Amino acid sequence: MDIKSLVPRDKHDLAAVSAVEKAGYPAVAPILDDLLSWIADGNWPVARPLARFLASLGDPIVEPVVHVLAGKDSAWKYFCLDLVVRHLRADSIGRLHEVLCQLAINPNDDDRAEGVDAVAREVLA
């Protein structure tokens, strides 16, 4: 099976989310960035179940999360923090400390408008 076939095809592709959960980690390691892109809008049906799975991975999701949090899409950062980072174990959150502090203390205007700074502060607290 081609692992890329597990990436949801649209925001309603809950069958893909089930297939991802069934495949588990480390099978899905090559597509973590692709999977994380499906939580860019927390209102999509695939977002929350996929976020639960990604948060359950712990350390393997940290690096893909750093890429999102260092990016320019403030809405995606918000949902990444709210749906994934908030639910990570403390040791995994600790690996995100530097980027979380940056977002909490020195957010750009877009991040502030989306509430990224507030969620980052909540996660740090």
Set out the domains of the chain in order of their start, with CATH numbers: 3-124 (1.25.40.750)
Q: 90-115 pLDDT, tens per residue?
A: 999 999 999 999 999 999 999 999 99
Burial, 94: exposed, middle or buried (Cβ in 10 Å; 0-12, 13-18, 19+)? exposed
Question: What's the whole-model pTM score?
Answer: 0.96
Q: 43-80 pLDDT, tens per residue?
A: 999 999 999 999 999 999 999 999 999 999 999 999 99
